Structure 1
């Protein structure tokens, strides 16, 4: 991931927070701890994390 290529108003506005990438292991415990939203995304990632890691 080239962080210098990220751009846009959301990244430039300090009132929207800090957007720092976080690397996590692709396993169920690590992805469950992310508290992804919406819940459908969290379920999708949890269900597929093990398969992605196996590739």
Structure 2
């Protein structure tokens, strides 16, 4: 099993508080960077893409 590579937004604050996102095949994983040990959320890649398009 490959290690999950989390990415933090370049817009995170100076303490590093932000959401982190990782790709896992066809799923996008999202977690709180302040609490990485807690369970995050997973979304189908298509739902995440629609969310990001809406933000733009």
Instruction: Give the TM-score, by structure 2 length.
Output: 0.25
Instruction: Give the TM-score, by structure 1 length.
Output: 0.25
More helix by share: 1
Larger Rg belongs to:
1
More strand by share: 2
